[in-house]
Structure 1
Amino acid sequence: MYCCPRCKIKVKDVRKLINHLRHVHALSDGQDYTIICGQNLCQRTYHNFNSYARHLRRDHPDTQSLNTNFTETLPDLSPPSCSNADDCSETDMDISEDRTYNYEKCAAEFAAKMYSSSNCTLADVQRNMTCSKELLGRVLDRLQEKTVSVLNSHDMLCNDPDVQSLMEEFESGRNMFDGLDTTYKMNKYFSENLSLVKPKEVFLGYRSDTERKQGVLKQALIADKFQYISIIDTLRFLFENEQMQELCCQTNKSSDAKMSDYCDGIRFRDNEFYNKFPKALQIQLYFDDLETTNPLGSKTKVHKLGAVYFCLRNIPARFNSSLENFHLCLLFNSIDREVYGFNSIFKPLLEDLNILETRGVEVQIHGKNSLLHGTLCLFTADNLACHSVGGFLEGFSANRFCHICLVHKQNAQHIFNDDLVELRNRDNYSQHVEFNNPPLTSIKEDSCLNSLNFFHITENVCGDVMHDVLEGVGPLELKLMLRHFVYDEQLFTEDQLNSRIAGFDYGLNNMKSKPSAIIHLRTSENPIRQNASQMWCLLLFLPFLIGDFIDEGNKHWQLFLLLRQICDIILAPVATKGLAMLLKQLVIDHHTLFKSLYDRPLIPKHHFMTHYWRMMVYFGPLGKLWCMRFEGKHAPLKRQAQVVCNFINVSKTLAFKHQVLMLEG
């Protein structure tokens, strides 16, 4: 007897347990899941059924004791729970009996897994399905012949209902790919049976270009289009899942004075919409550009895409770290953004958000029709994208370069307390839009997001720790400090530093973020060359690497330790208002010490750090709102673009592949 690690139902053997996990809990080897064995309190974990089945047969050949200690996995919110688990936990069920097997659905899931793979094109899918169909046909023909021969030898009548049912099973298996053998049929099946949310092509305008017709290159008008995945349709798709319904009905609000998520911040507390609808959806939007070709090649910027994603702040933060819970809603060519503007591209998204705000969307929650409201609560992006969407000048050499306050760039070099500067707000933003003097105000147009009833670009934008600190201030200050230690004070050499970086044990959780060697420290403008996760790892472990070389009172080392303290606070999973006040003072001390040590100006990202304490009070812990996981969402799209190598309408291809991938999640 074996016990299901999900619902504790008892089954006879390993095969039936695997079938139960596949059919009842909708697990498959294509998903990112973890199974904890649990038989006789066994804590071994497995990520595919083959290794799990081998473990059960080898280590638990005859499990009698069903004392289990199961830990729920965090795959992607998709597996449904087994209903009536308590009623059937003491019953020996034969899962395989009286179950009608849907061969066509099995084939569709096979096709979806292949097509959503980043290294597989549509032509590959069609070719593999054709070969699989031929292989299955040969095998089933042979098996059917042998079965008929055996039945005849036992004088079984061909018109017997059981024999006819068996022959129908052979025929169903042979024809399982018939409803999917063309692109049209496959897309139709995905939409009608697997709830695929198909991207919608939205027309923008025409451009003059050339196209080849009958071997002749001619001038033609080409339609400019972008892809929109309806946020309303995506929400309906998500709320078909019972676990999503359960999670969104819960509250993440802290019962004490601590801030653990967006809903603990002042902006949520003072929002008129969330006071009226406390359980409304908290939608966080992210925008960024991604390069689909070689960034050093000749096609740079030609096929550059802009992507807009959203996630729900209602669900716990541990689920929002999974890429499956970031949803694509806009994909467009970056050149079209420059030609037609954000107003045209964001229009369908803003229309849907207005519907969510005013009328709401009807969904099924716990078997009952419920009206679901929601609004855009937060916009995150890197500084350049934030300025683009916000209507600000995109250059950071402007006199008033900050999108949060009106400090002059000269005053930003000595004012480190943002209480001493005028903050941007709805009133002065509107005045600057009407004034229409970008060199003076740094505002060139009104942001399209301001058309929403409960959002404003000066109130609902959060700074990004990853771009500001881990990819800006951190590498700069580390370069200056290491140059001083290696070449001015000569405390250690560059080779000693790299030797310790390479030989240090960073622990299992940090091995993927192990820092790279630091080369050409004296001559290179960017000798650090770490990505954001590597930079955080280096900041975390640098005291263990070189701390024994440095005197405790060294001013350069004190500057680094101040930066470390700042990082500890802004990346903390839980924050308090007292911690925010400490952060405010640490940033002031850090910037003051930097100006006294180095004869160079602060960079704009230094100034953005002066607002972090205020953002923490407004929005909660900054580490849960940063762009790190959103940036990770770009990787599959980039890989797929390089594999497909068809850039005629690359946004349509990538958007559709992304939506098929979401079927797996």
Structure 2
Amino acid sequence: MASNIHSYTMNRVWCPICNGVFITMTTYINHINQHKNHNLQYTCPSCRQQFRKLCRLKRHFQRCEMVSEEFRTGIHEQDRIVNDDQIVEEIEYIHEPNFEPVDDNNGDDYNEFSNGDEDNNDEFNNRNDDSCIVEKVFLKVSKLYGKMAFPKNLATDVISFVNEELVSTIFECILRGNCNREVIENMAFNCRSGLDAFASEYKFRKELINRNLYIPPVKFSILPEDILLKESYGYFIPINEMLAAIFEKREELVMDMLFTAANNSDSVDLNTQHIEYITQGATWQKQKVKFQFDAVIPIIIYQDDFEVCNPLGSKNFSYGLYSNFKQICNELENVENNGLALSYIPGNKVIGCNVCAIAGDNLALNSILGKKRNFVTDYCCRICVATIQQIEDLVEEDYSLLRTDENIHLGCTSKTPLADIDSFSETDMLSVDPFHDFFEGIVHAELCYILDYCFTNYVDIEILNTIKREFKYYNDFDKKNLSVDLKKEHILKKKLKMSGSEIACFLKYLPIYIGEFVPKNDEVWLFLGKLIEMIDSSLSTFFNTEKINNLQKITKEHHTTYKVIFGPKTLTPKHHFITHYGTHQFHNAANLLQEEQFEPQCSIGKIEDYIDITNFDIIDYVFHLDFDYTKVPFSKQFFFVS
């Protein structure tokens, strides 16, 4: 096999900067490293792919070098496929320039690829060095994997689709003997035509319209009609049209929904059963009886603030949240009142839709509910009306301070746009933020005290760093969220240089890291166990009366111990928020309202709409729903509105 087939092992490398020629990739990298500057884009001399960082170019070379090695060692292997009594032997392609297929019958049989024209014959027989389809596919997918903003699971889906759908279909046609020129041309045309729709946004939208899968967005004015300072518009997709389009194609799912509603199979007795899904919570059970529909779909609204320059922010007054959410709330109210009439449902049965909960982080929830966004002032809690002095001492939930219709206005800075929805009840639709309350809140603060105590009395910080580095991690989540080495100065300043996910991973393995050094009866060691137990109970996937009472008991013990063991200490607002988790589990099954479940889906929209969201003339507002109907029955599902 010619050495110049694989451009990453060739003997000559040309530098696009100075037109110099180098023998190896190593010398080429060293040359670029000496002449690099901040404005330079590093170009691969083979595939012309550009990189902003030299380290990525090196990694690109290493990957392609591995590919070339695989081609050199495995190109002459033959596979035999047994089909009944017939043995079909795969053609061994030797990747040489100007390769011509060998005619085993010395030209006696008719060549299906030939039509008597030598020019057309050369089109199939002659192969360029760069036309190896396997290497082309690998390099293309490698580029997808190399993109930082491209999720790895999407690249895996592309590989799976090509292998299972396209390649398998073509291979089956060849095995059946239908490999004449016309069949191959049809297969090639079908493969290409399936991807033509993705060539541009215009073609993609046109294809969606042709398949009746496109719902045009509706334009609305953000400002009231009596304010003519500046025209500003938003766009949304009508929720009733979107839901109708989804359920018109899901007859089996809808019939299962009607059966579930008729048998009331989602009701739960907390004394004998568990709450596993949001449809079994007290809030949903109370809300669904208000509607006279045959079945009701629960809808969860997820709110996540954009960056500080966001023109939708509350600081922009007329352009703020209320003006934008008002139109969306009108759509939700319309669906709640009228429901969905589907063509295949017998009789006059109608499917209803109802907002059952809201989700988001603490700042976003306080914003959409019109509460204070400063968490060190009075009435900063969304669930109760405790003052900041009371928050510092409350180790358990005080039922006398819970918000009611009479005191719901305390701590409010503006009217919530959700109040326009008739079924919305702020006192019932409780929402918490476990990820930020725990891993970016109390766990971060308490780990600093725990580590400082352990480093002072039992274990050296370098020993812990060594154990953490050399520990064998088998979980993908843990491998991706390993934190950097701990430093003494960071511990003393009570600032761990870790993200929330890294803190969650570190806390998971901390008892294993230091367990052999700390006595079992040490009060700080016991406190660490109580912290982990409280988190596990709060993030449990099912609840009943016993588990809710146990969580409230553990939370009280943890908060009391924290005030004494590292003290005297006062509790923070996030300590206080956790005291309400038991009540929240009873109302809304907290495991379905954790903010980190919705964050990845919303972040895609934030990336795509970043330019438009800072445009003050036209503000794009995306109304997004996600319904995963393929995994579990309806009673375990919900709609996601962002």
Whether these two folds match at TM > 0.5 is yes
1: distance between equivalents of 2:562 and 2:184? 80
Q: Taking structure 1 as reference, are residues 454 and 635 closer, same or farther at Cα in structure 2, changes over 3 Å only? A: closer
RMSD of equivalent CA atoms: 4.3
Aligned twin of 2:279: 263
1: distance between equivalents of 2:486 and 2:196? 58
Shift of 1:595: 0.5
Q: Taking structure 1 as reference, are residues 651 and 238 closer, same or farther at Cα in structure 2, changes over 3 Å only? A: farther
The answer (yes or no) to whether the contact 2:266–2:279 under 8 Å persists in 1 is yes
Q: Please, which of 521, 526, 544 is the counterpart of residue 558 of structure 1? A: 526
Aligned twin of 2:83: 62
The structure that is strand-richer by fraction is 1
Aligned twin of 2:13: none
SS across alignment from 1:428: coil
Give, as a single letter, the amino acid of the residue that structure 1 aligns with 2:234: F
Shift of 1:580: 0.3
In the alignment, does 2:461 pair up with 1:494? yes
Q: Taking structure 1 as reference, are residues 367 and 185 closer, same or farther at Cα in structure 2, changes over 3 Å only? A: farther
Aligned twin of 2:240: 232
1: distance between equivalents of 2:514 and 2:474? 18
2: distance between equivalents of 1:528 and 1:474? 10
Q: TM-score, normalised by structure 1?
A: 0.59
Give, as a single letter, the amino acid of the residue that structure 2 aligns with 1:389: I
SS across alignment from 1:549: coil
Aligned twin of 1:586: 554
User: Rg bigger for which structure?
Assistant: 2
Aligned twin of 2:538: 570
Shift of 1:623: 2.1
1: distance between equivalents of 2:84 and 2:317? 65
Alignment of 1:452-601 (within 5 A): 452-486=421-455, 488-489=456-457, 491-523=458-490, 525=493, 527-599=495-567, 600-601=569-570
Give, as a single letter, the amino acid of the residue that structure 2 aligns with 1:623: N
The answer (yes or no) to whether the contact 2:612–2:619 under 8 Å persists in 1 is no
The answer (yes or no) to whether the contact 2:298–2:356 under 8 Å persists in 1 is yes
1: distance between equivalents of 2:432 and 2:352? 26
Shift of 1:471: 1.7
Shift of 1:349: 1.5
SS across alignment from 1:426: coil
In the alignment, does 2:299 pair up with 1:283? yes
In the alignment, does 2:620 pair up with 1:612? no
Q: How far does the alpha carbon of each residue in 1:353-411 deviate from its partner, in whole angstroms, 9 at most, with x for none?
A: 11122111223456887522111100112111111111212111212221111112111
2: distance between equivalents of 1:226 and 1:288? 18
In the alignment, does 2:187 pair up with 1:187? no
The answer (yes or no) to whether the contact 1:230–1:352 under 8 Å persists in 2 is yes
Aligned twin of 2:390: 411
Q: How far does the alpha carbon of each residue in 1:112-154 deviate from its partner, in whole angstroms, 9 at most, with x for none?
A: xx9xx9979xxxxxxxxxxxxxxxxxxxxxxxxxxxxx99xxx
In the alignment, does 2:245 pair up with 1:245? no
1: distance between equivalents of 2:463 and 2:81? 51
SS across alignment from 2:328: helix
Q: Taking structure 1 as reference, are residues 118 and 647 closer, same or farther at Cα in structure 2, changes over 3 Å only? A: farther
The answer (yes or no) to whether the contact 2:418–2:424 under 8 Å persists in 1 is yes
Shift of 1:278: 6.6
Structure 2 residues without counterparts, runs of 5 or longer = 1-77, 86-143, 151-179, 632-642
Aligned twin of 2:137: none
Give, as a single letter, the amino acid of the residue that structure 1 aligns with 2:215: V
Q: How far does the alpha carbon of each residue in 1:139-192 deviate from its partner, in whole angstroms, 9 at most, with x for none?
A: xxxxxxxxxxx99xxxxxxxxxxx9x9999999999999999986565344234
Q: How far does the alpha carbon of each residue in 1:49-95 deviate from its partner, in whole angstroms, 9 at most, with x for none?
A: xxxxxxxx96974379xxxxxxxxxxxxxxxxxxxxxxxxxxxxxxx
Shift of 1:557: 1.8
Q: Taking structure 1 as reference, are residues 615 and 58 closer, same or farther at Cα in structure 2, changes over 3 Å only? A: farther
Give the total of aligned pairs.
451
In the alignment, does 2:212 pair up with 1:201? no
SS across alignment from 2:357: strand
Alignment of 1:314-393 (within 5 A): 333-334=312-313, 338-364=317-343, 370-393=349-372
The answer (yes or no) to whether the contact 1:350–1:452 under 8 Å persists in 2 is yes
Q: Please, which of 402, 406, 409 is the counterpart of residue 381 of structure 2? A: 402
Give, as a single letter, the amino acid of the residue that structure 1 aligns with 2:579: T
SS across alignment from 1:410: helix
Q: How far does the alpha carbon of each residue in 1:286-307 deviate from its partner, in whole angstroms, 9 at most, with x for none?
A: 101234xxxxxxxxx33x3xxx
The answer (yes or no) to whether the contact 1:333–1:651 under 8 Å persists in 2 is no
Q: Taking structure 1 as reference, are residues 333 and 58 closer, same or farther at Cα in structure 2, changes over 3 Å only? A: farther
Q: How far does the alpha carbon of each residue in 1:440-492 deviate from its partner, in whole angstroms, 9 at most, with x for none?
A: x3122332212222211222022121111122111111122112211x32x11
Q: Taking structure 1 as reference, are residues 333 and 539 closer, same or farther at Cα in structure 2, changes over 3 Å only? A: same
Q: TM-score, normalised by structure 2?
A: 0.61
Shift of 1:527: 4.0
Alignment of 1:304-319 (within 5 A): 304=310
Q: Taking structure 1 as reference, are residues 58 and 259 closer, same or farther at Cα in structure 2, changes over 3 Å only? A: farther
The answer (yes or no) to whether the contact 1:236–1:363 under 8 Å persists in 2 is yes
2: distance between equivalents of 1:425 and 1:361? 33
% identical aligned pairs: 21
